[in-house]
Amino acid sequence: MADVTPSQEILNIEEIRDGVLILKDGTMRAILMASSINFALKSADEQTAIILQYQNFLNSLDFTLQFFIQSRPLNVEPYIDTLKEQEKKQTAELLRIQISEYMDFIRTFVRAANIVTKSFYIVVPFTPPMFDKPSEGVKSLFGSILKPKKKDKRTLNDESFEEYKNQLWQRVDTVIQGIVRTGVRTVPLNTEELIELFYGLYNPGELEKGKPPSITK
């Protein structure tokens, strides 16, 4: 029987505190969820303006970022559950039949069209000076969270954490204020949302079934 590696050893996360990922090497990450814009529907002038604003945003940064896109099949079960509740409340037989047929249509259509949802994230890193080391490049930002590394565990005390969290949040504010000029809105993920994000990355089947994790505060 093959050995099973605990998820704690796969993830390079030491802890999640106050909406901040603290990695085992002492570096920190904040993750923002970003909205999307339909670039193709914009006029030529609007497209040019968006591109220029995005260029200005990138040129204004003095730290690296990573843009991460998560795709997964559309989960219609919560919507179907709502329709089932409405079906039970209907007194007219015809309406119950119509709701039942509509639910079958939705399920069939989503499966046949292979509809997926996309979520957009921005990873903002911060390396405390005491843990500073040569940069591994932008590709490592999200990968460093997911890929197991050799043990290099470092810790932050509460005072240091608050100081470095504030510096990380200054970077987050810079990203939020800069990218909003392109029409993209962003919001930082809190602790519970970060847990759900990583749970979903490693348990996509559970989320597709409409079973997100229950989080105890």
Tokens linked to 194: 């970060």
What's the structural domain count of the chain? Answer: 2
Question: 143 lies in which domain range?
Answer: 7-72+120-208
Write the pLDDT tens digit of every residue in 150-163.
Answer: 555 556 677 788 89
Same domain assignment for residues 53 and 137 = yes
Write down the pLDDT at residue 156: 67
Write down the pLDDT at residue 145: 58
Same domain assignment for residues 142 and 196 = yes
Q: Could you tell me which residue, 176 or 203, shows the higher pLDDT?
A: 176
Residue 2, domain member (yes or no): no
3-state secondary structure of 105: helix
Among left, alpha and beta (phi > 0; psi -120 to 50; other), residue 54 is: alpha
Tokens linked to 79: 């919507």
pLDDT of 108 > 50? The answer is: yes
Distance CA 156, CA 33 (A): 26
Distance CA 161, CA 168 (A): 10
Same domain assignment for residues 84 and 34 = no
Same domain assignment for residues 96 and 23 = no
pTM of the model: 0.70
Write down the pLDDT at residue 179: 94
Write the pLDDT tens digit of every residue in 47-102.
Answer: 999 999 999 999 999 999 999 998 877 778 888 889 999 888 888 889 889 999 99
Residue 214, domain member (yes or no): no
Tokens linked to 210: 């409409």
Q: Is 123 exposed, middle or buried (0-12, 13-18, 19+ CB in 10 A)?
A: buried
Do 125 and 29 form a contact (C-beta atoms < 8 A)?
A: yes
Question: Among 206, 172, 142, 169, which Cα is nearest to 13's?
Answer: 142
Rounded to a whole number of angstroms, the distance between the first and last alpha carbons of the chain is 36
**Domain boundary pick from 56, 86, 114:** 114
Same domain assignment for residues 67 and 79 = no
Same domain assignment for residues 67 and 133 = yes
